[in-house]
Amino acid sequence: MNTVTPEQMVLDDNWSDLSRIQEMPDIDRRRLHDYRLGRISGALRDADAAMCVLVNPISLRYAADYRNYALFQSHIPTTYLFVPVEGPAVLHGAYDPMPVADEIRAGRPLSYFDGGPDLADGARLLAQDVVDYLAELGTDNRRVAVEYVNPSLTQALLQRGLEVIDGVTVSEEARKIKSDDEIACIRWAIAVAEHGIAKVHEALQPGVSEVQLWALLNYTNLANNGDWHDGRMMASGPRTNPWCQEASPRQVEAGDLVGFDTDMIGPFGYCADISRTLHCGPGKPTRRQKELYQLAVREVECNMKLVRPGISLSAFQAQALQMPEEFHEHAYSCVIHGVGMCDEYPRVNPVHRGPNPYEGTLEAGMVVCVESFVGAVDEREGVKLEQQVLVTEDGCEMLSSYPLEEALLN
């Protein structure tokens, strides 16, 4: 029996690096950084805040191109960034010695892992750092925006006479409109994701497991210097309904539908969020499988026609295609949502789920995903589809391009 060594697996890999067959975009990294930092400064002005303290790994990547230990940072925060309306951006507690920041300083403990039961002591030191930083800036503005932190830091800042507001209102507002460089990054992330999807399609056959198929997507992302996937949304056969069942060792059977959602934080830190449902041969799909698939296609295509600048979220919800009642209970959580470096503002709920969580308006430069899941209660299978689109001045432009499943369309 011939076995393939680990060395052969890597050295003989002539497919995963997309740049070998498709030219990467030429991104002006300085211009990209300046735009993103300018967006944060503008959002701070709009909030009448002097500075923000950014902790979320997505925000650290956006503001300082800092990507080290991102998943670790999401649950054990060690690094944080001071960004002012005007002045130097200062990164604290960085592992990477070369982030795009004006200065690097020591950090205070933010997590139980680092600070134990004495987090309040670290919070008081950090609050002093904020006061000193405001003095360095020479501002009298005492309003500070702070992202996801322990209550002890908020309390310490208040005790120093500062006004604290939610930093996510600044970081999310900044990220919602993309520059041309960001769109180029997103196009490349999508190209990498679809490169992996093609390999999944090629490998799909009876006997392969869901986790093996998912590994191809993950490998492709990493081989192209991408980051991670927010979930492992790969399901087959009876695990496709209801949706949001992550990849398992289940082996795909002939005739199964296989659905997945990339949720991929890819190259340059940007998200490729694409869903497809495939059919595993040999043999032809059933009439019901085709019916479900074509309903999902109809929902996505109808709602994509609504994407345009100026439409309110409530108007979008009211005009979105209303699916038959049998699919309401298992319907996807939203009909559209924003996406940039991750899922983000805005989102629109299906009308049968009640009002949207907030009001707002689609604007040119936003990137949104148009969603559908079609699966009835107590039925074996369901269909997940999702397209990623750019809101343009006169409508929208499709960014995702992987073909729909021909066998389920005919």
Tokens of 394: 């006169």
Q: Among 408, 397, 202, which residue's Cα sits nearest to residue 291?
A: 408
**Structural fold of domain 180-409:** Creatine Amidinohydrolase (3.90.230)
Model pLDDT, residue 100: 83
* The CATH number fitting domain 29-175, selected from 3.40.50.1980, 1.10.2020.10, 3.40.350.10, 3.20.20.140: 3.40.350.10
Q: Is the pLDDT of residue 2 over 80?
A: no
Q: Is the pLDDT of residue 156 over 80?
A: yes
Q: Is the pLDDT of residue 64 over 60?
A: yes
Q: How far is CA 404 from the centre of its chain?
A: 22
Please list, residue by residue across 261-284, b when 16 or more beta carbons sit within 10 angstroms of its beta carbon and e when fewer do. bbbbbbbbbbbbbbbbbbbbeeee
Tokens of 289: 């499988």
**Tokens 């975009």 appear where?**
25
Q: How far is CA 339 from the centre of its chain?
A: 6
Query: Across-strand partners of 392?
Result: 395
**What letter does residue 95 receive in the DSSP assignment?**
S
Compute the distance between CA of residue 257 and CA of residue 268 in angstroms, rounded to an integer. 32
Kindly state the average pLDDT of the residues 163-190: 97
Element (H, E) at 165: strand 163-166
Kindly state the average pLDDT of the residues 39-55: 98
pLDDT grade for 236, boundaries at 50, 70 and 90: very high
The mean predicted confidence, pLDDT, of the chain is 96
Locate the domains of the chain by residue range: 29-175, 180-409
Model pLDDT, residue 4: 67
Task: Please say whether the beta carbons of 133 and 125 come within 8 A.
Answer: no
Task: Please say whether the beta carbons of 300 and 370 come within 8 A.
Answer: yes
Model pLDDT, residue 391: 98
**In this structure, is the dihedral angle defined by the CA atoms of residues 318, 323, 324 and 325, taken in order, positive or negative?**
negative
Give pLDDT tens digits for 338-377.
999 999 999 999 999 999 999 999 999 999 999 999 999 9
pLDDT grade for 96, boundaries at 50, 70 and 90: confident
Q: Is the pLDDT of residue 5 over 90?
A: no
Tokens of 159: 């005790």
Kindly state the average pLDDT of the residues 281-304: 97
Q: What distance separates the 2 farthest-apart alpha carbons in the chain?
A: 75
Compute the distance between CA of residue 348 and CA of residue 333 in angstroms, rounded to an integer. 9
Task: Please say whether the beta carbons of 99 and 91 come within 8 A.
Answer: yes
Model pLDDT, residue 212: 98
Q: Among 323, 277, 300, 273, which residue's Cα sits nearest to residue 396?
A: 300
Q: State what percent of residues in the chain have pLDDT above 90.
A: 94
Q: Is the pLDDT of residue 97 over 80?
A: no
Going by their DSSP bridges, the two strands 264-265 and 271-272 should be labelled as antiparallel
Q: Is the pLDDT of residue 1 over 60?
A: no
Q: Among 258, 296, 295, which residue's Cα sits nearest to residue 279?
A: 258
pLDDT grade for 6, boundaries at 50, 70 and 90: low
Kindly state the average pLDDT of the residues 184-205: 98
Q: Among 82, 33, 130, 35, which residue's Cα sits nearest to residue 91?
A: 82
Q: Is the pLDDT of residue 3 over 90?
A: no
The identity of residue 232, as a single letter, is R
- Long-range contacts at 341-346 (CB < 8 A, ≥ 24 apart): 341/58, 341/61, 341/62, 341/175, 341/265, 341/269, 341/270, 341/271, 342/58, 342/230, 342/265, 342/271, 343/230, 343/271, 343/273, 343/369, 344/172, 344/175, 344/176, 345/172, 345/173, 345/176, 346/176, 346/313
Model pLDDT, residue 12: 81
In this predicted structure, which of 42-46, 114-118, 246-250 has the lowest mean pLDDT?
114-118
Compute the distance between CA of residue 320 and CA of residue 167 in angstroms, rounded to an integer. 32
Give pLDDT tens digits for 130-155.
999 999 999 999 999 999 889 999 99
Residue 1, exposed/middle/buried by CB under 10 A (0-12, 13-18, 19+)?
exposed
Kindly state the average pLDDT of the residues 111-139: 96
Kindly state the average pLDDT of the residues 211-218: 98
Give pLDDT tens digits for 326-340.
999 999 999 999 999
